[in-house]
Structure 1
Amino acid sequence: MKTVLILYYSRHGATASMAQQLARGVESVAGTQAMLRTVPEISEVCEAVADTVPASGAPYVALDDLKKCDALALGSPGRFGNMAAALKYFLEKTSSLWLSGALTGKPAGVFTSTSSLHGGQESTLLSMMLPLLHHGMLITGLPYTEADLISTQSGGTPYGASHVSGSDSSRPLTDEEKRLCVALGKRLAQLAQKL
């Protein structure tokens, strides 16, 4: 059984909704399972007093989850055209995996949600690709054979799946956004099987 780790940070739930759709795509491929994981929020509060288990949603990721996965989907809301600090903070603690080459050759893809159509979706996706490239991962996006890339009036890019959540983060995923998330999950699962 191949495992696609879907690792994300979601403050208001939009990115978590996308992760669920990616998981549907992963699990549509026989012999592949999705593993949903998140990262804790960071703040000025000392880590030593923070909860070790989230109150709801996916469990927190461990370095071992990355080491054991066969493919990775990385998701974050856009923060001024960049990934959220909580996800970046976790990725900065992956040096031991980089030194050992644990992620080298594994397929990876990225996804994001922003409050507006021009909220930096593509630069956020690119910011998440950079550490994955340093890890030697094989980055995949969404090809234009996915017809929804042409017709979408909201999220969706060749760099990865995206969603426009609205200024109050309450806008649900559009049908096109859902299908593109599923397509990215399916693509990663198929690559995990081939590689």
Structure 2
Amino acid sequence: MSLSSQSHKSTAKIIILVLYYSRHGSTRKLAELIAQGIDATPGCEARLRTVPAVSAVTEATEATIPTEGAPYVELEDLEECAGLALGSPTRFGNMASALKYFWDGTTAQWLGGALAGKPGCVFTSTGSLHGGQETTLMSMMTPMLHHGMLVMGLPYTLPELMTTSSGGTPYGASHWSGMNGSHPISAESRTLAIAQGKRLAETARKLQAV
């Protein structure tokens, strides 16, 4: 290997994928905070991606490029990332159908082990305080475990987990947005989301030996 190749390898940043679905913007805000924590980690770079909505009308289609927010995810993003943060609003205690639909199309990546051994974490936003945050987080862990990922939560060494009254769980960052999405992200939830991004990035970096 040439000196220039070694230099490029040592300076190249590893990609951490932040994949989310957001209907009213709250989950997107959490994703951006997690990305902030990733970008603050030396040698790491966040790649924000979303998924198109799923319609009950079979003729309905989404535009190829979203009108706002992150670009749509591609299967290659799973192969190129060194870690994954996965986020969704809750749908009756479960991940949104748009995100589930995306995972249902990742059989080739599952067979090829594209995500095996990579660290992952989850995050969510709910309209009501007890609206299924923890079950939604756990529903997102299921496909990650099937893909062979190393699923991470948030440790109680973060004091905000003990003081928060608006979101934040040991399973992953969360936010109580209110029924109309009007509740701002609290200081505790903000801190926990950024910390989760940093923890994911630092773990991916260690596993990559960067």
The two structures share one fold, judged by TM-score above 0.5: yes
Percent identical across equivalent pairs? Answer: 59
Deviation, structure 1 residue 46: 3.9
2:182 counterpart (170, 173, 187): 170
Q: How many residues in Structure 1 have an aligned counterpart in Structure 2?
A: 195
Q: How does 1:9-48 map to 2 (within 5 A)?
A: 9-46=21-58
Pick closer, same or farther for the CA change 1:91–1:151 going to 2, 3 Å: same
Structure with more contact order per residue of length (Cα contacts < 8 Å, sep ≥ 6): 1
Provide Cα deviations, 1:15-46, integer angstroms capped at 9, x if missing partner.
00000100110011111000000000010344
Deviation, structure 1 residue 116: 1.1
Which of these two proteins has the greater Rg computed from alpha carbons? 2
Which residue of structure 1 aligns with residue 73 of structure 2? 61
Question: Partners of 1:47 and 1:163 in 2: how far apart?
Answer: 34
Structure 1 gap segments, 5+ residues each: none
Structure 2 SS opposite 1:5: strand
Structure 2 SS opposite 1:23: helix
* Cα RMSD, aligned residues only: 1.0
One-letter identity of the residue aligned with 1:71? G
Deviation, structure 1 residue 172: 1.0
Question: Partners of 2:143 and 2:18 in 1: how far apart?
Answer: 16
Deviation, structure 1 residue 170: 1.4
Question: Partners of 1:97 and 1:76 in 2: how far apart?
Answer: 21
Structure 2 gap segments, 5+ residues each: 1-12
**Structure 1 segments of 4 or more deviating over 6 A?**
none
Question: Partners of 1:98 and 1:90 in 2: how far apart?
Answer: 13
Structure 1 SS opposite 2:52: coil
Contact 2:53 2:62 in 1 (8 A): no
Which residue of structure 1 aligns with residue 18 of structure 2? 6
Which residue of structure 1 aligns with residue 7 of structure 2? none
